[in-house]
Amino acid sequence: MNTPTRGKLYLVPAPLDFGCDEQTPLQDALPLGTLQAAARITHWICENAKSARAYLKRIDAVVPLAAPLQAQQIQELPREVHKKGDHAGQFDARPLLAAALQGHDVGLLSEAGMPAVADPGSSVAKAAHEMGITVVPLTGPVSLLLALAASGLNGQNFAFVGYLPQDADARVQRIRELEALALKTGQTQLFIETPYRNAALLQALTQTLQHNTRLAVARGLTLASSQVRSETVKAWRAKPSPADERAPAVFAIGR
């Protein structure tokens, strides 16, 4: 009995407009080759099946899907992966890749941007490597790198540190720690926040950071309303900028 040729795991980026009032035309945000590769896939692993179907519907309007939307096989990552992260060591993603062992290509999706980068999915990629399944990242927007490139901060030495604490005192302490590291080493510190907390984070940053530290905020990347502001904290204080509580943002500090 012949063993089926393994399918591949494709990391399929999504546009950065999830949850926004406006949408980026799909062909403006993603290369045609990425859309064509995604359209051929019929088995999916995602954060949320509803938003995955909405994204596939957008792809279908540009490149017809290989199978009707209702015939697409979609599996969701468990909620525990969203809350605790992929590397808590308690989630085995191998069962999600059973279709790849039967010869089907599998697509991995996040809500926005590149899966497994500031989003769940690394456990799936890790499992694929362990199972001898080829992992193929497709080209598309990655908000962290777009923000870093536009910030004017050090792009040769940088770190993404995820979310800052929600507790006000703990958040101030973490901001000071990251600033000290950035000023001592020159390493740019990148972080994100849930959009409705953007205003609170921005206020904490402008109140806590030293006046010569550079602060960059990139909002709504790839959208027509995209904004990137990168100035010293002194300039931010002199001319406050309201934080959009709907558009996703990437924050960066450095020198």
What are the extents of the domains in the chain?
Answer: 9-137, 143-254
Query: What would the mean pLDDT of 130-143 be, rounded to a whole number?
Result: 97
Cβ neighbours for 143, distance < 8 A, ≥ 6 positions apart: 16, 112, 113, 118, 192, 218, 221, 248, 250
Query: What is the pLDDT averaged over residues 137-146?
Result: 97
**Secondary element (H or E) of residue 127:** helix 122-130
Q: What is the pLDDT of residues 58-67, one digit of tens each?
A: 999 999 999 9
Lowest mean pLDDT among 15-29, 85-99, 132-146, 152-166: 85-99
Write the burial class of residue 67 (CB in 10 Å: 0-12 exposed, 13-18 middle, 19+ buried): middle
pTM metric for this prediction:
0.92
Rounded CA-CA distance 56/39 in Å is 8
CATH topology match: 9-137 vs 143-254: no
Terminal CA-to-CA distance of the chain, rounded, Å? 62
Q: Which residues pair with 113 in a beta bridge?
A: 14
Say if CB 202 and CB 168 are below 8 A apart.
no
Q: How confident is the model at residue 20 (pLDDT cuts 50, 70, 90)?
A: confident
Architecture of the CATH domain 9-137: 3-Layer(aba) Sandwich (3.40)
pLDDT for the residue 94: 94
Tens of pLDDT, residue by residue over 73-90, are 999 998 877 666 676 667
CATH 3.30.950.10 fits 143-254, yes or no: yes
